[in-house]
Every structure is written in C-alpha cells, then in structure tokens.
Amino acid sequence: MERELANQLEALHADAHGWALHCCAGDFSRAEEVLQNAYLKLAQGRTHPAGTSTFKTWWFGVIRYTAHEEFRRLRCRETLLGKLWAQFQGESHDPRPSPSRQVELDEQTLQLRAALSQLPPRQAEVLHLVFYQDLTLSEAALVMKVGLGSVRQHYERGKARLRSLLQTPDSDHETRLR
C-alpha cells in the first residue's frame, strides 16, 4: 500500500507542483513550502485518501487546503507594527524577476497572464484545473468543493471572458470588415 501511494505521488509531483504554484499566486518559494507541508500531512497520517474521488482529485484538494492554511497563517503574522518596522528599516522587495519568471516574459505569455488575472478567482481556478492539470469538470468540482453546476458555469463564463480579453483590436477590425 505504501509503495503504491509513493508511486502515485511521484507520478503526480510535477502536476502537483504546478497546482501549488497556482494556489500560491505564482510565488515559487511559497508553493514549494505548501507542497512540502502537504506531503508532511500525508506522511504524519493527518490526511488520507477518502476513496470518494480519484487520487489526483483528492491530492489536489489537500494541496489547495494547505495553501489556504498557509495564506491564513502568513496573514496573521503580518502586523501593522511589522510593516511599519520594515518601512522604517528601508527594506524593500527586489523588483527584478526571478529566473523562473524570466522565461515567461514573451509577449503571448504576458498577455495570457494579464487576461487570467482579470478573471474572477473561481473562474481562473477552474480554467487552471481543467487546462493545466487535465482534470474533468467533475474532478475540478471535487477539488474546489463546489457543485458541478457551479463549476460548469464558472468554466463557461471564464472561457468567454478570456476569449474577449484576448481578442486583439486588429482581429476585431478585420471581423467587422468581412
């Protein structure tokens, strides 16, 4: 049983990392920490597959929940005094992109990322699960812990909104001329 679990986790690691990265809004170090904490939960026996969904769906749900826990924990630690102290010390965030982010700097990727960031969170989450993680809509519903009808609606609305955001002015002009 343990070996089978390890094989499943190993096969899903790259997808799980991508999902953790999405759940952490692209913060690579936080995504690694979230994924490590999810693995730790499993190793310590604090979570186990329920058997009501596929292993991948269950595992992505654990990662999503762990990311939410991490976000709440970090938000609680950020105090006004800590923020003021950092400002007083002159600490600032390095504006240069990380090496992994540097790869994303081509024009189409930036355009897609900008369009995705304009979507409501639920729509972006459904599109990520379906297109990047190859989940079905019913599996995405289980991961997100919402109804299938809700996921279908977020999926359709997200695709329509993304389509309208990605249309270039030139293609609109050409369409009108035809």
Predicted confidence (pLDDT) at residue 115 exceeds the cutoff of 80: yes
| Whether pTM exceeds 0.75 | no
AA identity, residue 175: T
**132: number of Cβ within 10 Å:** 13
1-93: what fold?
Answer: Rna Polymerase Sigma Factor; Chain: A (1.10.1740)
**What is the C-alpha to C-alpha distance for residues 37 and 43, in angstroms, rounded to an integer?**
10
Answer whether 1-93 and 96-167 agree in fold.
Answer: no
Domain locations in the chain as residue ranges: 1-93, 96-167
Query: How much helix, strand and coil, in percent to the nearest 5, is found in the chain?
Result: 75, 0, 25
> What CATH code would you report for 96-167?
1.10.10.10
157: nearest Cα among 113, 114, 134, 127 = 127
Question: Tens of pLDDT along 63-89?
Answer: 999 998 888 777 756 555 565 566 666
**What is the C-alpha to C-alpha distance for residues 57 and 26, in angstroms, rounded to an integer?**
21
47 burial level (CB within 10 Å; 0-12, 13-18, 19+): middle
Confidence band (pLDDT; 50, 70, 90) for 172? very low
**What is the C-alpha to C-alpha distance for residues 127 and 137, in angstroms, rounded to an integer?**
10
**What is the C-alpha to C-alpha distance for residues 18 and 49, in angstroms, rounded to an integer?**
20
Task: Determine the longest span between alpha carbons in the chain, in angstroms.
Answer: 63
Predicted confidence (pLDDT) at residue 128 exceeds the cutoff of 70: yes
Confidence band (pLDDT; 50, 70, 90) for 95? low
Cα Rg of the chain (Å, integer): 19
